[in-house]
Chains A and B, each alone.
Chain A
Amino acid sequence: MNALVEFFRPHLLPLLYAVVIVAVLPLIAGYIVLLERKIMADMQARLGPMRVGPHGLLQPIADAVKLLIKEDIIPENADRWIFWLAPLLSVTAGMLALAAFPFGPAFQIADLNIGLLFILGISSMGIFGIVLGGWASNSHYSLLGALRSAAQLVSYETAAGMAVVGGLLLAGTLSTRRIVEMQAEQGTWFIFLAPIAFFTYLVASIAETNRAPFDLPEAESELVAGYMTEYSGFRWALYFLAEYTNMVVVASVATTLFLGGWLRPFPGTTWLNFLDYVPPLLMLLLAGYCFYRTPRQPVKVQQGFLAAVGLLCLLLAVILALPLLPLAVGGIEAQSLRPAIHGGFWFLFKVFAYMYVFMWLRFTFPRYRFDQLMKLGWHFLIPVSIVNVMGIGVALVLDREAGWPLWQALVLTTLLTLAVAAYLAVVGERKDSAAVGGAERSA
């Protein structure tokens, strides 16, 4: 028995983290869906789910139960084995990629020294889930939709990869933990040093996760039905979970690489230390809002539920406030826990902020047509990100060899890349309007 424990000891902590993530992720994905519906409603001047639980807070649970008890329908001539396998691949790829992220300085399943490359590689395996899903549906249009979706993913993977390389050049290492530590050493997040890389990654990641405005392959009003058409019930829930997990993965990559991971804004500057008090204050505000709304709930059960949520927020506020106090409990300095606890908060906060931008863009913009989508990826994003990578490389050489301060060289890089982007945009417009003119004449 002892030998068994000793055998597993080095792997216990990562195993615990993995269990926590795998257990918590479906719940979190469900609440991200609820958050999206509420944000959608807010932008559309309505309220969103309100019925199930106070302010619809129990809606994800109701949805999950409904999906679990639905009949499992498999199309007649579908390949049963692949039909079963496809959603599994998507979900596995998404969840596996979460293994390499540092959610805090202490909370990481595996600190691979190829961390970022691992994440990119595993995310690219999610393509199989889509392609096989479309194939297994045994429908011509599902297959075409799946292949189009996969083509879109592959195209934007290149742009995303190049954008990530831009950030990697600044970090100098592939290990995700080291990247965040490098940002702490530099004193700024990499977004301020390489903004173009961040925005390229933002656009490419929206296309990677098949979100609007790049969601033509899975839009309901389009003719070619998406790869998810024949999936119902729990299998569909798995695909949905995979999509939101991918969103979390992509947001985590951006957070780790560009937004400073678990660091607070401006980690080095001491006169901004009051920002350390933001996490508990935010939670206190949230708790206060919950308690404020509790008496206004129509039903007693909802009142109780909202009060419980308020208490939870209060508890989180207390946990977040503890490391700020000069306490020592049982030999452990409270202050030393600050990076871990606050780090987790900041990481999740940034991930949610990134996903809020995703949702914001989804409800604002119409959809790109597929050829316009591909044109944007190949003719605009990939050249811009390649130029950006070259520019950052030159800036780094100037910093090391010629003694320029890094941020000066990077400002130059940014301007150069913007110039290239502007040129490409203008040329693209002219080509587009030439096409329009041609269409006019032939009409």
Chain B
Amino acid sequence: MSDTRASGFLPQSGIETTVLGADEIILNMGPQHPSTHGVLRVKLKLDGEKVVESECIIGYLHRGVEKIAEHRSYQQFAPYVDRMDYVAAVSNGLGYCEAVEKLMGVEAPPRARVIRTILTELQRIASHLLWLGTHALDIGALTPVFYCFREREEILKIFEKYCGARLTTHAFRIGGLQYEAYDGMEQDVRRFCDDFATKIEEYEQLLTENRIWVGRTRGVGILTAEDAIAIGATGPVIRASGVKWDIRKAMPYAAYDQYQFEIPTGKNGDTYDRYLVRMEEMRQSRRICLQAIENIPAGPIMARIGKVLKPPPGEVYHAIEAPKGELGYYIVSDGTTQPYRVRIRPPSFINLQAFDRMVRGHLVADVVAIIGTLDIVLGEVDR
């Protein structure tokens, strides 16, 4: 391998870069690969079929988003955050808008908060559906991806009717919403939620009790609770390891304190548990949507803030529970219309650190399953 010397191979673990054991080879899963879910490069040191060590090389999708933020006004920066986790753009927007609102000391009106909750939970379902489809496809089940995309299509239709875009929605504004809930949004959401219950049963029927699925996912990629907390993993990754931590319950934002829902946790922290946790999360999101759509309070959708936003100097950290984990925004304002610093805490980036721990001792065929179960989006990892 020509560039092992250049990049080193985890020098802190004391492994020489040029001397390899007799049976060890270095396998490169290049940035272009059907299963790396984006431009992720993984270098694996293999002993026969077993993975001895691994290294993730990221940065292929780095676009300098945080630097760009310093030269845009607060409202101008909002569309940029959609492009980080492009699979779940609405959540990104929610986190950013709420962070700036916190900085400015305003609160979005109740109606806006409830509609935000509904859209965010729909986005969580859509993100988990995409995860399920691609994860199953990697493991070899060719059919669930089409069913998942069929449901995701319904959600994207709702988004399109609401804000005109399906993927990079820019649905929320700082201070509330720009668009009123469209006529028939309630019916659409209710119809989707009613339909969705049977569809989840369909996916469970295909996969949950399937011997091959269980054989491929149980015991694969185990992350213990201590490791998960030490790494700082969040989201379904840490919940499947047994830690009951969800920001929607711990530090409620938007309208989450008004609704009842459960936080699913797993026991072993393996791939199968992460699968079960995400399936249950989809059910709970549907529950939240149904509760929220029951009574959306009347009132304004936008708080009273001026057109030109000049938050007072200060700093704020605001985190939300994105589908991938804890998405945090740390914004430093110097009193001008452009932020001084925007630091984004991407959940996929921090969860990806667990990869090395999870993949050691497994076979090469499991690497693909483990990358899939972490549910990373490279737009978020690299920003």
Q: Which residues of A contact B (CB under 8 A)?
A: 40, 43-46, 212-213, 215-216, 219-224, 362-372, 432, 435-436, 439-440, 442-443
Contacts and interface: CB of A to CB of B under 8 A. Distances in A.
A40 B268 CA distance: 35
Closest 4 CB pairs of A and B: A367-B140, A436-B219, A44-B146, A366-B141
Contact of B216 (A220, A362, A369): A369
Contacts of B215: 368-369, 372, 432
A221 B142 contact: no
A443 B35 contact: no
Interface stretch (B2-10, B107-115, B169-177, B359-367): B359-367
B363 A371 contact: yes
B140 A439 contact: no
A45 B146 contact: yes
B188 to A, nearest CB: 20
A221 B138 contact: yes
A213 B219 contact: no
B241 to A, nearest CB: 10
A440 B364 contact: no
B367 A223 contact: yes
B84 interface: no
9 contacts: A44-B146, A362-B142, A364-B141, A364-B143, A367-B140, A370-B365, A435-B219, A442-B361, A443-B357
A439 B216 contact: no
Interface string B197-219: 00000000011001011011011
Contacts of B120: none
A26 B186 CA distance: 55
A368 B12 CA distance: 36
Interface string B140-158: 1111001100100000000
B365 A369 contact: yes
B318 to A, nearest CB: 34
A436 B220 CA distance: 8
A439 B368 contact: no
B27 interface: yes
B222 interface: yes
Given A366-B207, A432-B219, 4 more contacts: A224-B364, A365-B141, A368-B216, A371-B49
A372 B49 CA distance: 13
Given A223-B27, A364-B206, A439-B219, A212 B366 contact: no
- The residue among B35, B140, B222 with the most chain A CB atoms within 10 A of its own CB is B140
Contacts of A215: 140
A46 B213 CA distance: 24
Nearest to A222: B365
Contacts of B364: 223-224
- The residue among A212, A222, A366, A369 with the most chain B CB atoms within 10 A of its own CB is A366
A212 B210 CA distance: 14
A44 B139 contact: no
By size class, the interface of chain B is 35 or more
Contact of A363 (B35, B142, B223): B142
A435 B366 CA distance: 15
Nearest to B25: A140
Interface string B211-254: 01101101100111001000000000000000000000000000
A439 B218 CA distance: 11
Contacts of B297: none
A46 B146 contact: yes
B140 A366 contact: yes
Contacts of A435: 219
B26 interface: no
Contact of A440 (B34, B219, B357): B219
A369 B363 contact: yes
Contacts of A45: 146-147, 150
B74 to A, nearest CB: 42
A45 B212 CA distance: 23
- The residue among B143, B210, B216 with the most chain A CB atoms within 10 A of its own CB is B143
At the interface, is chain A mostly helix, strand, loop or mixed? loop
A213 B140 CA distance: 8
B361 A439 contact: yes
Contacts of B368: 221-223
B143 A363 contact: yes
A293 B360 CA distance: 57
B294 to A, nearest CB: 31
Contacts of B365: 216, 222-223, 369-370
B29 interface: yes
Contact of B34 (A220, A368, A432): A220
Given A221-B34, A435-B219, A440-B268, A368 B142 contact: no
B216 A44 contact: no
A212 B147 contact: no
Contacts of B106: none
A371 to B, nearest CB: 7
B354 to A, nearest CB: 11
B136 interface: yes
Contacts of B268: 436, 440
B185 interface: no
B141 to A, nearest CB: 4
A424 to B, nearest CB: 14
Given A46-B146, A443-B222, A365 B210 contact: yes
A366 B34 contact: no
A212 B143 CA distance: 12
A365 B211 CA distance: 9
A155 B2 CA distance: 38
Given A366-B216, A372-B215, A439-B361, A44 B140 contact: no
A364 B210 CA distance: 10
Contacts of A216: 140, 365
A363 to B, nearest CB: 5
- The residue among A219, A370, A443 with the most chain B CB atoms within 10 A of its own CB is A443
Contact of B139 (A367, A439, A440): A367
A440 B270 CA distance: 9
A387 B54 CA distance: 44
B65 interface: no
A200 B27 CA distance: 37
Contacts of A366: 136, 139-141, 207, 210, 212-213, 216
- The residue among B138, B147, B215, B227 with the most chain A CB atoms within 10 A of its own CB is B215
Interface string B259-287: 00000000010100000000000000000
Contacts of A440: 219, 222, 268
Contacts of A370: 49, 363, 365
A442 B361 CA distance: 10
A363 B145 CA distance: 11
B303 interface: no
Nearest to A46: B146
Given A364-B206, A366-B140, A213 B34 contact: no
B224 to A, nearest CB: 6
Interface in B95-148: 136-143, 146-147
Contacts of A363: 142-143
Nearest to A432: B215
Given A369-B365, A439-B222, A44 B138 contact: no
Contacts of A436: 218-219, 268, 270
A44 B142 contact: yes
Contacts of A223: 27, 29, 364-365, 367-368
B130 to A, nearest CB: 16
Nearest to A40: B142
